[in-house]
Structure 1
Amino acid sequence: MLQEPSKRQKNDHCPLQGRQIQARQKTDGIRRLKKRSEKRIMNPAFVIPLLFAAIVAGAWMIGTYNKFIKYRNRIEESLNSIDVTLKRRANLIPNLVRIIKGYSDHEGKIFQEKTRQLGMLSDPERVEEEQKIARNIGGLIAVAEAYPDLKASSNYLELQNSLNKIEQDIQQARNRYNGYIARFNTLVD
């Protein structure tokens, strides 16, 4: 009985030839896998949705970045608006002091000193001092109410109207600033 030689026995007569066949089979298998994966990757049904998703993600990132920049700029703008309005009010105080000075010298000196000190303060101190000045202006106007001649003066009335308008502008600027801060914080969250 003749037995058929096993694979090992077949390759035993030329071991190099068997290894070459095995290597060729492996490379053929790898080539087939590459072709299949290339077909899947280059398939328009795969590429188009992937490209669309990348474009949408990029547009979203750019839009979000632009929103952050927009709100940052608006916050800075509204803060500068508050500063400008506060400076306008500070510029009116010497006029108010000059008008009231003849009627009540003590209050006039207090406001002149406060206005001079205001320019030398840092931001947190300045905010606190601005609040004190706003309260003191109310007190100064109340003092002026005690002097009927002053109250009837056209300069005083014009100055008082200007101060009231500036106070409204300050409140609007603060509301706008707080609104932008709230929107920015919502965007961050």
Structure 2
Amino acid sequence: MVIFYVLIGLILLAAFYGVGIYNRLVKLKTLVAEAWSGIDVLLKKRYDLIPNLVEMVKGYATHEKETFESVTKSRSQAQNATTVEGQQAAENQLNKSLLNLFAVAEQYPELKANENFLSLQKELSVVESDIEKSRRYYNGTTRDYNILIDSFPSNIIAGMTNFTKASFFEIDTEAERKNPQVKF
């Protein structure tokens, strides 16, 4: 009879442990989604600034049509990305386009001195810094979630309940790892 109670106790203990792991997986998955939402909000804010920057530079550099079209196209692709990998690729392209836009702006001293342009530039710099912080938070929560999915015995629970690893939000090339310079 004692063995029966010990066995029931062990089964209950294992069940509670499994529920605890499952709840931790749910919590971390929710944190990953919340972190991605934070990045998404900041990217939207950034995308809203870009047309204003393009219009400011257009007013001074009307012959740089290709640069303006590249920024507009890259912005559109970034806004329409639906996966972490797609967003990552679109952001890399948008960063390249913005660097080209700022290179064009560099050629116009009166633009660099324009108060509205300086204000937009400062706001973009703040948003870029916030995006960097949000990416770090997202990658940190993704790391914790992925570790739990890969670790024993939680990997058994994760496999049984269809939890899958999340993707990190990373920059692909060394040149793209550099923060875009918006300083004039």
TM-score bracket, normalised by the shorter chain, equals 0.5 to 0.7
The structure number with the bigger radius of gyration is 1
Aligned: 1:176 with 2:137: yes
Q: Secondary structure at the match of 1:85?
A: helix
Aligned CA distance change for structure 1 residues 121 and 184 (closer, same or farther; 3 Å): closer
Seq. identity, % = 33
Q: Secondary structure at the match of 1:159?
A: helix
Aligned CA distance change for structure 1 residues 80 and 108 (closer, same or farther; 3 Å): same
Aligned CA distance change for structure 1 residues 122 and 71 (closer, same or farther; 3 Å): closer
Structure 1 Cα separation of the partners of residues 16 and 86 of structure 2: 43
Q: Secondary structure at the match of 2:18?
A: helix
Please identify which structure carries the higher helix content: 1
Among 49, 72, 83, which residue is 1:112 paired with?
A: 72
Aligned: 1:147 with 2:147: no
When the two structures are aligned, how many residues end up with a matched partner? 146
Structure 1 Cα separation of the partners of residues 69 and 4 of structure 2: 78
Structure 2 Cα separation of the partners of residues 103 and 71 of structure 1: 49
TM-score (norm: length of structure 1): 0.66
Q: Which residue of 2 aligns with 1:101?
A: 58
**More off after superposition, 85-94 vs 66-75:** 85-94
Aligned CA distance change for structure 1 residues 182 and 131 (closer, same or farther; 3 Å): same
Segments of 5+ residues of structure 2 without an aligned counterpart are: 152-184
Structure 2 Cα separation of the partners of residues 122 and 53 of structure 1: 45
Letter in 1 for 2:132: Q
TM-score (norm: length of structure 2): 0.68
Structure 1 Cα separation of the partners of residues 15 and 73 of structure 2: 57
Aligned: 1:185 with 2:142: no
Structure 2 Cα separation of the partners of residues 118 and 161 of structure 1: 22
Segments of 5+ residues of structure 1 without an aligned counterpart are: 1-40
Among 20, 27, 32, which residue is 1:63 paired with?
A: 20
Q: Secondary structure at the match of 1:102?
A: helix
